[in-house]
Amino acid sequence: MTATTIAGHQVDINDEGFLTNPDDWSEDLAPELAKLIGIEPLTDDHWKLIRFLRDDYAAQGETPTLRRVSTQTGTPVKALFGLFPGKPAKKMSYVSGLPKPKGCV
């Protein structure tokens, strides 16, 4: 675990850069996290997914998978790849301040 400062917030991160405490996340931190992985600006479509991930994590106790995000939000997987290119599950989790979903490499 390493302490770092992102957008004026001191946070602890793991070796992959994910926040170790989801409670350290805030909505003003999300755009900065997104910039770090080449996603900007965050659109309403991004925010819909980020808020879903945060709410679902709070209710379920684990980060939702790509399939769950797609089915629960009605967002096609192809659109998720468009919003969070490359590895959408990993990138959505990162920007949302959550751990990687189980099974995500």
Residue range 43-79, pLDDT digits in tens: 999 999 999 999 999 999 999 999 999 999 999 999 9
Say which residue, 38 or 1, is predicted with more confidence: 38
Residues classed as catalytic: 104
Other residues' Cβ atoms within 10 Å of the Cβ of residue 23 = 7
The average pLDDT across 16-38 equals: 96
SS3 87: coil
Task: Report how far Cα 56 is from the mean position of its chain's Cα atoms.
Answer: 12
Q: Is 18 left (phi over 0), alpha (psi -120 to 50) or beta?
A: beta
- Which residues, at least 6 apart from 79, have a Cβ–Cβ distance to it below 8 Å? 45
Q: Model-level pTM greater than 0.85?
A: yes
Interior CA angle at 48 toward 47 and 50, to 5°? 60
